[in-house]
């Protein structure tokens, strides 16, 4: 609101992507509505782990394109410090807390979201999870309470699948990589992003990240990377940006957007 001089009091939908809500209910989106005294709005949380922000963006775009909504607030927010096992040195050094928000408004003449894809490899859920009501998955006993990650398997899955997913998204938009100014993958870790770029169409100098400053913030990592690029003057109005979230599930979601402010 301070950055762009906009108001949120007239939004008609709030979408919050988070894996770490304070409550099972009321939703985090409902708490946002209460905080900002928004009189009439829908409010919905969604959980797609590290792909959650892009999923929320895609849902917002669908609501706007349907004509049923005019102005949607999309938030990615996590407090992973609450679910981190600090005795597990393979994971506790990776994760951070953070939040980012974007505001989408309907523009029939110049759509901001140019193409999207999404998908799931549910068999990989065993490699990244946090238990809730059950402590078994597909007959396998789980560790309870905190986030559990098999980093080696996540890395192998991402390296195999994300570069091809990026190419599929570019093809769906009838674009090539040279027409996209910035690639913004989920900021899992720099080694993984470098591995994806070695096999994909983008280079690190055209890749926006937040992990080096914020850690792995799951659903918040992509909006935080966008914020850093805006602050540094790198992300400009008219730029085409390819967002690609991936993580627990195993879920993935990618969108190409036109940055408009």
Annotated catalytic sites, by residue? 50, 186, 216
3-state helix, strand, coil in the chain (%, to 5): 35, 25, 40
Instruction: Judge whether 124 and 51 are in contact, CB under 8 Å.
Output: no
Determine the Cα–Cα distance for residues 69 and 14; give it in Å rounded to an integer: 11
How far, in whole angstroms, is CA 11 from its chain's centroid?
Answer: 21
Q: Token digits for 202? A: 């983008």
Determine the Cα–Cα distance for residues 125 and 129; give it in Å rounded to an integer: 7
Instruction: Judge whether 250 and 51 are in contact, CB under 8 Å.
Output: no
Q: Token digits for 115? A: 């193409």
Determine the Cα–Cα distance for residues 159 and 198; give it in Å rounded to an integer: 9
How far, in whole angstroms, is CA 181 from its chain's centroid?
Answer: 19
In whole angstroms, how far apart are CA 219 and each of 1, 70, 126, 165? Answer: 21, 24, 19, 19
Determine the Cα–Cα distance for residues 258 and 104; give it in Å rounded to an integer: 12
Q: Token digits for 212? A: 């080096």
Residue 143 C-beta-side C-alpha neighbours within 13 Å: 13
């Amino acid at each position: 609101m301070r950055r762009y001089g906009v108001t949120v009091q007239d939004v008609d939908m709030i979408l919050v992507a988070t894996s770490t809500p304070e409550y099972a209910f009321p939703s985090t989106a409902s708490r946002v509505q209460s905080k900002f005294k928004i009189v009439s709005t829908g409010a919905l949380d969604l959980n797609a782990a590290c792909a959650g922000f892009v999923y929320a963006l895609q849902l917002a775009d669908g609501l706007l394109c349907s004509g049923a909504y005019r102005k949607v607030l999309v938030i990615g927010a996590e407090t992973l410090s609450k679910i981190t096992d600090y005795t597990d040195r393979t994971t506790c050094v990776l994760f951070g807390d953070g939040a980012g928000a974007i505001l989408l408004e309907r523009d029939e003449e110049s759509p901001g979201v140019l193409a999207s894809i999404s998908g799931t490899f549910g068999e990989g859920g065993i490699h990244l999870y946090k238990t809730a009501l059950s402590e078994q998955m597909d007959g396998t006993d789980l560790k309870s309470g905190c986030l559990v990650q098999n980093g080696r398997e996540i890395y192998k899955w991402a390296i195999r699948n994300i570069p091809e997913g990026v190419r599929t998204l570019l093809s769906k938009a009838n674009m090539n990589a040279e027409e996209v100014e910035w690639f913004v993958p989920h900021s899992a870790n720099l080694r993984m992003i470098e591995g994806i770029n070695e096999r994909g169409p983008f280079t690190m100098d055209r890749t926006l990240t937040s992990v080096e400053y914020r850690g792995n913030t799951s659903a918040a990592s992509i909006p935080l990377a966008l914020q850093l690029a805006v602050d540094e003057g790198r992300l400009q109005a008219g730029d085409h940006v390819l967002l690609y979230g991936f993580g627990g599930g195993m879920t993935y979601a990618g969108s190409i957007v036109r940055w408009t402010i």
